[in-house]
């Protein structure tokens, strides 16, 4: 779990693999949103997808 910024907004992030899935979870309390992306292939980058979705929401 990590605290950081995405697009100038505070974000709580967590990522990692589990049981054949790779997942990225991001919660932004100042934007009152959360994004969860889960891929069932370990060669994907759900963090990049979460980041792209976050940019669309601004």
Domain extents for the chain?
Answer: 2-56
Mean pLDDT of 7-33: 79
Q: Which of 8, 1, 4, 2 is nearest to 57 (CA)?
A: 8
42 class by beta-carbon count within 10 Å (0-12 exposed, 13-18 middle, 19+ buried): exposed
How far, in Å, CA of 21 to CA of 41, rounded?
6
pLDDT attached to residue 25: 87
Average pLDDT over residues 18-45: 84
Residue 17 pLDDT: 66
């Amino acid at each position: 779990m990590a605290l950081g910024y995405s697009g100038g907004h505070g974000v709580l992030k967590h990522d990692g693999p589990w049981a054949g899935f790779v997942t990225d979870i991001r919660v932004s309390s100042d934007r009152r949103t959360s994004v969860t992306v889960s891929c069932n292939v370990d060669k994907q980058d759900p963090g990049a997808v979460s980041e792209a979705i976050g940019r669309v929401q601004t």
